[in-house]
Structure 1
Amino acid sequence: MANILVAGAGVVGTAVGHGFSQHEHKITFVDPDAEARRRVGELGFVAVEPDDVSLADIDVVFVAVSAPTGEQGVDTACLRMATRTLGEALTRGFRTRYPVIVYRCTVPPGTTRILSKLLEAVSGLRAGVHFGVAYSPEYLRAESAHEDFLHPDVTTVGVIGDDERTWRIVRDLYQHFSCPLARVSPEDAEFQKYVHNLFNAVKISFFNEMRTTAGHLGIRDVDDLFLITARSAEGMRNPLYGIADLGPYGGSCLPKDVAAWLLEMAQRSIESPMVAAAQAVNRRTGNSQVRCR
């Protein structure tokens, strides 16, 4: 059994705490918001204020605080505040353990490494020597976060430095979850989380565009047509389709059909920005020919 501290009692943090508690780990939450502490307290968890944080008996800290998008990009104010709190906690008391701090927020590549250096600056200790740092992105949906955490399809972990001790600690925590465990660099893990989210955004946007276009063309029952597409298009039924480094699309189908579609839409005064973007991206990346599927 591990002693786990969860920094942040929002949707992600609560799912993390609840999920690990199902495997008999001891969970404590820390959050500056009294209402958040009250909510997790009603679920049976101990919740403390940042000033009361102690890492003396903590094995792993999962940082799941807010990282919203601001005018200058990702706002890391809460992340930096939580990191300072943890750095200060690292300086208090005699440490008989090797606490590992795992960040979960969606952040630009390089952020975890910056936060690791902040932990070192505040604590006067060294990552990889006195404590461990890792990044493990969450793949949770707000409406089913608890179930998603308990039944993951994959778990990704990026460890700061050549730190086998941190890797083993995090790996052992996840051993009860039946899913592949991918070890990559922290920057790779941060990048992959954006690839994950942005792919979902692009796919949703494409079908929203097609739904709007169908309305302009007087085509009904479009949802039924999309279900057929889910079976007919290899890009829908084969998760590996399109990810190989084969250059831009080519062959006898895709380039000509994209061009024909855009010309037809222009003649009908119907906008098709997602399809136009696909053409523009592939034109910029070259003219390698790949097989049409």
Structure 2
Amino acid sequence: MSGIRVGVVGAGYVGLTTAVCFGERGVDVVSVDVDRAKVERLNAGRPTIAEPGLAEALRAGLATGALRFTADPGALADRDVVFVCVPTPSAADGSADLGAVESVAERLGEVLSPGAVVALKSTVPVGTTRRLSATLAPRGIHAVSNPEFLREGHAVDDFRQPDRMVAGSDDAGAAEAVCRVYGARSGPILRMSPESAELAKYASNAFLAVKSSYANSLAALCANVGADVSEVTRCMGADDRIGSAFLNPGPGWGGSCLPKDTAALVHTARMHGVTLAEVEACRATNAAQAGRVADALTRTTGLPLTSMRVTALGLTFKAHTSDTRDSPALSVCAHLGSEGAHVQGYDPELAAIDPDVLAAARVTAVDDPYRATKAADAVVILTEWPEFGDLDWAMVAEQSPDAVVLDTRNVLDPDVVDRAGLRYLGNGRMFGNRRRG
């Protein structure tokens, strides 16, 4: 590779994927995390997150000696480029909490040698990179905004085959050092000011949130006018000016990025006298989705939530991950539970989900989907796990013959559910000649 020595601070989704994928390429990588138990587990070749392809890449990097993990920031002293991948959660006012980023930057200023580059992958408000650059400059250290665009559940593939790489800096040499670490497989390289790079990340995520909320609003309209949202969005997605991504309706959007990033973007805009009405509206639409699910259940079953037994299939915020941060599935569960429903939940990644998180969402965990659906008044598909389409719905019907199946993700075959004798309710869909949305 380039011979550049790389450091990565933070071994969460972004940091671990970054370290592991550079390591499998033969880049000399030191990854630092404050969690010593996590460090030990990773050095033993056991990934701490569920992500397709990550375990194999982790073991490959460790086997060659290119990759190693430590809790000692001093191990970064000889690094040429250090990627900062620590959380920037929402503060009470919606702004991004930069405590972790600032703490790491201060420590790196003490540890790194002159000429080193700090690449900020953490999503930070406009002006953060320039401010940190000014702080680090007297020590001869440069800062570059290098936002990530990794999708959970596809993070390794996205890193290996990126659709773009952004380097935001006024220092051409520092930006070039970051680009050289990625090498020829970086995808299109977009160089810009740090302010543009920071805002581009927020703008991208907010646009996806707006698009997703629009799909949910369309689904609600389709249910009332007799249209099928899957047909409507198929037409929309065929237009290359729109595209099909993020047009699938669901119980809302969540995860570690969209909720906090839309909140931070709205906060930044207000601080500068700008109203982002579109983003504010999409957040309001998203917050209403749990109530929409509850209304659909009471209307269809004819039962009050206080006497309803609900099975939630899918608890993570999306399929192919164990992440429950700001999961819309858990938001729905918490809303149903707060209204008096008894909620049992199953997820293919249940073993990796913190029981305290489920308890906070008023979910009783059941480790088998058929036991979870026993004696249910309603079965709600909340995460788009493909496994749910393969369930034996006739078996579900035997033990819950009067259950309504509410498919918020539209991932089931309505005919299969109908033949099993269960009532199918899609999200803004038509089924046969009968309205089921």
With normalisation by structure 1, the TM-score equals 0.71
1:176 — aligned with what? 184
- In the other structure, the counterpart of 2:235 is 228
Task: Tell me if structure 2 keeps the 8 A contact 1:23–1:176.
Answer: no
Question: What residue is the counterpart of 1:67 in the other structure?
Answer: 88
1:291 aligned partner: none
**Aligned with residue 88 of structure 1, among 100, 105, 110:** 110
- The CA deviation at 1:36 is 3.0
* 1:206, distance to aligned residue in structure 2 (A): 0.5
Instruction: Mark the runs of 5 or more structure 2 residues left unpaired by the alignment.
Output: 46-57, 246-276, 283-437
Matched, 1:187 2:208: no
Equivalence for 1:116: 133
Q: 2:130 is aligned with what amino acid?
A: R
Residues 1:167 and 2:175 are matched in the alignment: yes
Deviation string 1:236-258 (CA, Å, 9 cap, x unpaired) is 2599xxxxxxxxxxxxxxxxxxx
The 2-side partners of 1:80 and 1:203 are apart by 33
Give the Cα separation in 1 of the matches to 2:224 and 2:99: 45
C-alpha offsets along residues 26-84 of structure 1, whole Å, 9 cap, x if unaligned?
A: 111111112332343223342222453342x2111000011111113100011011111
Structure 1 residue ranges, 4+ long, deviating more than 4 angstroms after superposition: none
AA in 1 matched with 2:242: M
Inter-CA distance 180–38: structure 2 relative to 1 (3 Å threshold): same
Q: Read off the aligned partner of 2:154 and give its amino acid letter.
A: S
Aligned residues: CA RMSD: 2.4
Secondary structure of residue in 2 paired with 1:69: coil
Number of residue pairs matched?
A: 226
Q: Which residue of 2 aligns with 1:21?
A: 23
The residue type paired with residue 79 of structure 1 is: V
Contact persistence 1:59–1:98 (CA under 8 A): yes
**Match of residue 286 from structure 2:** none
Letter in 2 for 1:149: F
Contact 2:30–2:76 at 8 Å: present in 1 too?
no
Distance 2:72 2:103 in 1: 10
CA distance in 1, matches of 2:193, 2:101: 20
Alignment TM-score, normalising by the size of structure 2: 0.48
User: 1:2-39 deviations in whole A, cap 9, x for unaligned?
Assistant: 21110000000111112212321011111111233234
Is 2:147 the partner of 1:137? Answer: yes
Task: Show structure 1 runs of 5+ residues with no match.
Answer: 240-272, 279-293
1:140 corresponds to which letter in structure 2? L
Q: How far off is 1:114 after superposition?
A: 1.8
| Corresponding position of 1:147 | 157
> C-alpha separation between the residues in 2 aligned to 1:35 and 1:54?
19
Spell out, residue by residue over 1:149-198, the C-alpha distance to the aligned partner (whole angstroms, 9 max, x if none). Answer: 11101111011x4x232122122222221511011000010011111101
**Paired-residue identity, %:** 31
Deviates more, 1:135-144 or 1:222-231: 222-231
C-alpha distance 238-185 of structure 1, shift in aligned 2 (>3 A): farther
Q: Give the distance between the partners of 1:178 and 1:29, measured in 2 at CA.
A: 20
State the distance in 1 between where 2:82 and 2:232 align. 47
| Alpha-carbon distance change, 51 to 155 in structure 1, aligned in 2, over 3 angstroms | closer
Partners of 1:9 and 1:40 within 8 A in 2? no
Q: Structure 1 residue 218 and structure 2 residue 218: aligned?
A: no
Give the CA deviation at 1:216: 2.0
Displacement, 1:217?
A: 2.1
